[in-house]
Amino acid sequence: MAGDIIIVRFKPVGSSVEQGKPLCTIESAKWVGPVESPIAGEIVEVNLQVRKSPRTIRKDPYGQGWVAILNPSRFDADAGSLVTGDEALEWFRGEVGNWLAKKKG
């Protein structure tokens, strides 16, 4: 939905992040925004290839376009609020619908 991603700015390796807080920031030609961390933890690795080629996030988000690896600090507590499967698909469809409505309006 962000379009063509042109810049990715990572928090430094070793940084702590909270669930729902920015893990990194992405910038497209028309938008700048955070990528929220799905869980709390410490950043142990960032994908330097994505820094070199940000478009990889959009082209292959579930493969080469990964953003960071975290060492979870409270996974059991955070896992309960993660959205998966059909629930995640419905959420995404709603987000796309909202985005399309804003574009038309």
Mean pLDDT of 27-53: 94
47-99: per-residue pLDDT in tens? Answer: 999 999 999 998 998 899 999 999 999 999 999 889 888 988 998 899 889 88
Nearest-Å Rg of the Cα atoms of the chain is 15
Q: Write the CA distances from 93 to 5, 34, 60, integer angstroms.
A: 21, 20, 19
For residue 76 the two structure tokens come to 């059991």
Query: Which CATH number does the domain housing residue 39 bear?
Result: 2.40.50.100
Q: Domain range for residue 76?
A: 5-104
**1: confidence class by pLDDT, cuts 50, 70, 90:** low
pLDDT at 27: 94
- What is the number of structural domains in the chain? 1
Structure confidence at residue 30 (pLDDT) = 83
Largest CA distance in the chain: 43
Give just the sign of the alpha carbon dihedral 98, 66, 42, 87. Answer: positive
